[in-house]
Each structure stands twice: as C-alpha cells, then as structure tokens.
C-alpha cells in the first residue's frame, strides 16, 4: 500500500524516472504528487466557488481560472487564485515550463466528472504552449489516447461540449490516473494525438498489458480485480496560454 504523503522538492522523482516508456514522446506520470490534506483543501476550494463560476455541460461541469479565453484565444492578464498557485512551484521543480512563454502555467481548467460522465476524443489546440500538467482529485479514472485522424472529434482546449455520446473509436493506449497524481503530456503526444474519457460507470480490463503507466502506479492493489467503479473525479489542468493581454490593451484603451 502506498503512502498518501505528497512529494517534496527533495523526494520528487525525476522526469526520467516518471517517463511512461510505452508511449510516444512524451508522457510522464507521478503518483501522490500532492498529499491527502492538499487534495482535501483543493476540493473544498473548488466546491466553495460561486455558482456563476461553473459552466454546466451535458456530461460534466467545469471552471476556468482566472477566466475563459476570448474568441481569439487570448487570456486576459490576471493571477491564478492562491489555492491553485500553491502547487505550481512543485511543478516548476520538474522544469517542464522552462521553455514556455511565461515560464509557468497561467491558466487552469477544472473538470468534474461524475460516474457515467466523460468527454469525446479531442485535442487542446494551439492556444497553449505544448505542455499540459493534470492533477487528479477524488478518484481514479482512465484517460484514453487516440491517433489523430481528420474525421476525429475535437474540442479546442477541452472546453467544447462533448461526451454526450459514447465514442465508437477504440483507444490506442490507456492511462490510469489515480487521485493526487500528476500527468504531464508534451511533444508528439500533445500535438499528434487525441485524448478522451469514456462516459461509463466502471473502468474494466485494467492490468499491466492494457494500462500504459501500470508500472508507475502508486497503488496497484486498488485495481487488482481488473475493474474500478468510478466515483466523482475532479481534474486540475494547468497550461500556459501563449497570448496574454491586459483588458485596456485588448480593447484599445490606455495603460
């Protein structure tokens, strides 16, 4: 049984140790990236947000911080809330943002999935620097990965309405995301593949041959039966939006 204590600057594994070797470039998985206490605090902050902060979709609901992008994929300059910023320095220790325009994430998308909810295969698109860091809260879930095809479903930045129907496509790979884990997607896996979550209540056929990151899991015993009954899972997706503008500059005002 694995510990639920968070990684620290001294104990955080290297990217080389966290590489999902069976996938194209480049995916990293770190279990127990945050502690149970941090997870509980983040969930409290999320549910305490005012109702207008939530966008309700057919098969999930979401929040965007500090705000949604404009129709031109521009982010209005504003800091992330302190409770979302709190784990950013730990991510920066991995140096995954060193080549990003702002050297750190400036946007967080929060998705809440209840059992039976999901999102169709999609790509995040060109509004962001090619690195996505996702922290999972509350429960485990399987992320499906697909090769990109011209007729594939897509949703810019993952905010488009999706998941209303079960995908008829078969995933090429599957990643199991445990609560408190960090999943980092970069390079070819970011640009040349789609990702989605099936709208099912049970993830099945979970084992070392079907789950790409099986050897990196924090607690394989949870999945020893090969199946996992879903519970409510919340994801924090950290990205660096390339185009940022202050409000006055965006609308032609003076500084």
- What are the pLDDT digits (tens) for 106-121? 999 999 999 999 999 9
Whether 27 is in a domain gets the answer yes
Whether 7 is in a domain gets the answer no
Q: How far is CA 45 from the centre of its chain?
A: 18
Whether 6 is in a domain gets the answer no
How many structural domains compose the chain? 1
Whether 9 is in a domain gets the answer no
Structural domain range at position 153? 15-250
Whether 240 is in a domain gets the answer yes
Query: What's the pLDDT at 161?
Result: 41
Query: What's the pLDDT at 58?
Result: 87
User: Does residue 160 contact residue 121 with C-beta atoms inside 8 Å?
Assistant: no
- What are the pLDDT digits (tens) for 192-210? 899 999 999 999 999 999 9
Query: What's the pLDDT at 35?
Result: 98
Whether 211 is in a domain gets the answer yes
β-partners of residue 111 are: 62, 235
Whether 91 is in a domain gets the answer yes
Query: What's the pLDDT at 126?
Result: 87
Under-70 pLDDT residues of the chain: 1-10, 149-168, 248-255
Whether 51 is in a domain gets the answer yes
Query: What's the pLDDT at 74?
Result: 97
CB atoms within 10 A of CB 180: 25
Domain containing 226 — which CATH number? 2.60.120.590
């Amino acid at each position: 049984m694995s510990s639920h204590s968070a990684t620290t600057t001294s104990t955080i594994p290297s990217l080389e140790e966290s590489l999902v070797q069976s996938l194209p470039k480049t995916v990293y998985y770190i279990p127990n990236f945050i502690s149970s206490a941090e997870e509980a605090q983040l969930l409290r902050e999320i549910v305490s947000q005012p109702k207008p902060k939530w966008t309700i979709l057919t098969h999930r609901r979401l929040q965007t911080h500090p705000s949604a992008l404009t129709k031109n994929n521009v982010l209005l300059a504003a800091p992330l809330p302190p409770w979302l910023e709190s784990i950013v320095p730990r991510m920066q220790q991995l140096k995954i943002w060193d080549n990003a325009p702002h050297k750190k994430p400036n946007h967080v998308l929060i998705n809440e999935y209840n059992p039976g909810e999901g999102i169709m295969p999609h790509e995040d698109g060109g509004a962001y620097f090619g690195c996505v860091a996702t922290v999972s809260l509350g429960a485990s879930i399987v992320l499906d990965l697909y090769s990109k095809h011209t007729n594939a479903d897509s949703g810019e930045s993952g905010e488009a309405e999706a998941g209303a129907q079960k995908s008829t496509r078969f995933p090429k790979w599957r990643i199991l995301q445990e609560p408190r884990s960090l999943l980092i997607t970069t390079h070819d896996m970011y640009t040349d593949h789609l990702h989605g979550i099936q709208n099912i209540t049970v993830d099945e056929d979970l084992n070392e041959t079907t789950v790409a990151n099986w050897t990196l899991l924090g607690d394989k015993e949870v999945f020893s039966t090969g199946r996992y009954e879903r519970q409510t899972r919340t994801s924090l997706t950290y990205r660096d939006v390339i185009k940022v503008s202050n409000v006055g500059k965006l609308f032609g005002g003076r500084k």
